[in-house]
């Protein structure tokens, strides 16, 4: 029975990921196929051209966002979206979620920490998201940083100001530690949790 469950534990997540990936590729291919057929005859269309066009389109949008006028236009659109009750919540949530992972990844892997909770003789895994707190002079804390605590199996968490002396750096990549927390330790890492000294 255990062997069967181990097999399911591999097959089901892999199947879900492949299904979502194939669904996304198919939708991208179908959408840009219709777009390309406005410019080229159908007999010249080759499977995969729509997907390639989608990749080029995303890259082109990324290039455009480097221009000031395009950034202003994006800000204008976002102001309109912010006035739409339901749409603004969905858009803002997805955008913040993507920015959160991008910002964490751009800072490198040295942000996963163990946080001491002396009253409970416990420790929590968190992620340092902000170290420059010059705008928070009223905290009255010794060398504070902002630590984000992700809730297991939830899209959300808590941001807490914590003194740096209560933090211990973990030798874990962001992917490892986030997966570990999201699955409440069920998806255990190969090397386990390693202390890398106090920050």
Contact 147, 159 (CB under 8 A): yes
> What is the distance between the alpha carbons of residues 186 and 188, in angstroms, rounded to a whole number?
5
pLDDT at 196 over 70: no
Indicate if 114 and 157 belong to the same structural domain.
yes
pTM of the model: 0.53
pLDDT above 60 for 197: no
pLDDT single digits (tens) 63-108: 888 888 888 888 888 888 788 877 777 777 677 767 766 666 666 6
Q: What is the Cα 182 distance to its own chain's centre?
A: 12
Closest CA relative to residue 188, chosen from 15, 9, 5, 7 = 9
* Number of separate domains in the chain: 2
Does 164 share its domain with 120? yes
Token code pair at residue 71: 């950034």
Could you tell me if 100 and 115 lie in one domain? no
65 and 159 in a common domain: no
**Confidence category of residue 50, pLDDT binned at 50, 70, 90:** confident
Residue at which a domain ends, from 105, 130, 153: 105
Burial 107-141 (b: 16+ CB within 10 A, else e): eeeebbbbbbeeeeeeebbbbbeeeeeeeeeeeee
Residue 111: predicted pLDDT = 81
Same domain, 38 and 72: yes
Q: Indicate if 7 and 101 belong to the same structural domain.
A: yes
Residues 38 and 107: their CA atoms lie apart, in Å, by 43
- Residue-wise pLDDT for 21-41, tens only, equals 888 888 888 888 888 888 888
Q: Do 101 and 116 sit in the same domain of this protein?
A: no
Distance CA(141)–CA(161), nearest Å, equals: 9
Separation of alpha carbons 17 and 132, rounded Å: 38
Examine the domain organization and report whether 143 and 58 are in the same domain: no
For residues 95 and 16, membership in a common domain is answered with: yes
What is the token pair recorded at 29? 């291919």
| Structure-model confidence comparison of residues 199 and 183, the more confident one | 183
**134-181 pLDDT, tens digit each:** 777 777 788 888 888 888 877 678 888 988 888 888 888 777 888 888
Q: Are 184 and 152 in contact (CB under 8 A)?
A: yes
Q: Which domain holds residue 90?
A: 2-105
């Amino acid at each position: 029975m255990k062997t069967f469950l181990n097999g399911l534990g591999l097959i089901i997540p892999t199947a879900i990921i492949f299904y979502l990936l194939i669904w996304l590729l198919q939708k991208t291919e179908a959408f840009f196929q219709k777009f390309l057929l406005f410019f080229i005859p159908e007999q010249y269309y080759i499977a995969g051209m729509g997907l390639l066009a989608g990749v080029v389109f995303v890259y082109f949008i990324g290039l455009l966002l480097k221009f000031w006028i395009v950034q202003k236009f994006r800000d204008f659109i976002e102001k309109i979206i912010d006035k739409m009750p339901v749409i603004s919540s969905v858009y803002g949530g997805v955008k913040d979620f993507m920015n959160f992972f991008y910002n964490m990844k751009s800072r490198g892997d040295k942000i996963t920490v163990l946080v001491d909770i002396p009253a409970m003789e416990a420790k929590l895994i968190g992620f340092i998201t902000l170290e420059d707190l010059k705008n928070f002079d009223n905290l009255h804390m010794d060398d504070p940083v902002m630590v984000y605590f992700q809730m297991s199996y939830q899209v959300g968490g808590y941001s807490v100001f914590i003194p740096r002396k209560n933090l211990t750096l973990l030798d874990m990549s962001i992917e490892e530690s986030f997966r570990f927390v999201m699955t409440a330790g069920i998806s255990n890492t190969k090397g386990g949790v390693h202390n890398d000294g106090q920050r």
